[in-house]
Amino acid sequence: MGSIIDGKAISTALYEEMRQEVEQFDKQYGRRPGLTVIIVGEDPASQVYVRNKEINARKVGLVSEVIRMPEETTQDELLEVIARLNADTAVDGILVQLPVPRHIDKDTVIAAVAPDKDVDGFFGMKSGFTMKQGYVAPCTPRACIHLIKTTGEAIEGKHALVVGRGELVGKPVATLLLNENATVTIAHSRTRNLGEIARTADIIIAAVGRPNIITGDMVKPGAILIDVGINRGVDGKLCGDIDFASAAEKAGWITPVPGGVGPMTIAMLIRNTLDCYLGHVS
């Protein structure tokens, strides 16, 4: 049975480390890092995500603000708020909670956030497989790398399989793995012989959004399995892209769903905010 990579426990320890950092920053630089989250509309899931971000930001001592804007907010009105925050030296990180209403162009809004305050890490990713130096990485991909490193296993030289080619997780996490000197294969829902490829992988990151696309017979003994998927099974329960029960029998380490990558994603948002802050004060 593989060891569980407990994202909840790991994130709790990380929050305490960051809380101590923030205390030191306040003494050294005379102010605390500031994070502002903008949410437009009343999407229920977004409301939950934003509330969790606010709670955890305050837990580590950030100056945290949530700007709630009505559904009928125009794109120009939203851009005006972003421009004001870009100019505010007390704000180190800006996050626009997605999705935004249909009448607002997501890409225009994302591009409006100052690159040095982009705690979502969108600006840091160039087209292709490189990261812009000096900018933060996207939160979920960064969380995946952090969780792998908690196993104590080196990433360098390993064969890493990323299942999923999305712009938010698949491609960025492949880039981060390459930066760690892994040999990276990207697969997806249409990949032929996925099982054959998976059985050669020392690390599998599943982020395709299809329940149980990775099963135990596809896992190399001792592999590290990171499950980014959040799905509803036929029984209505949350499940990942990896069949946990069968895969855990073969894996060396495995993340659960829920309780794996999810808690770490918000922790990495806070980490990104601290990194942006350091870029501003140093």
Give the DSSP per-residue string, 33-91. -EEEEEEES--HHHHHHHHHHHHHHHHTT-EEEEEEE-TT--HHHHHHHHHHHHH-TT-
pLDDT digits (tens, 9 = 90+) for 187-235: 998 999 999 999 999 999 999 999 999 999 999 999 999 999 999 888 8
Q: Which of 88, 85, 139, 133 is nearest to 112 (CA)?
A: 85
Give the predicted TM-score (pTM) of the model: 0.94
**21 falls within a domain:** no
Residue 126 CB-half CA count within 13 A: 7
Q: Is the same domain home to 236 and 146?
A: yes
Q: What confidence score (pLDDT) does residue 238 get? A: 87
Q: What confidence score (pLDDT) does residue 246 get? A: 97
Q: Is the same domain home to 107 and 181?
A: no
**229 falls within a domain:** yes
Q: What confidence score (pLDDT) does residue 126 get? A: 59
Q: Please list the active-site residues.
A: 53, 97, 120
Q: What confidence score (pLDDT) does residue 237 get? A: 85
Q: What total number of domains does the chain contain?
A: 2
Domain that holds residue 223: 139-262
CATH assignment at residue 248: 3.40.50.720
Only one residue has tokens 């792998």, namely: 148
Q: What confidence score (pLDDT) does residue 128 get? A: 52
Residue 206 and residue 229: Cα distance in Å, rounded?
A: 7
Q: What confidence score (pLDDT) does residue 77 get? A: 98
**161 falls within a domain:** yes
**166 falls within a domain:** yes
CATH assignment at residue 57: 3.40.50.10860
Q: What confidence score (pLDDT) does residue 122 get? A: 87
Residue ranges for the chain with pLDDT beneath 70: 126-133
Prior bond of 115 cis (ω within 30°): no
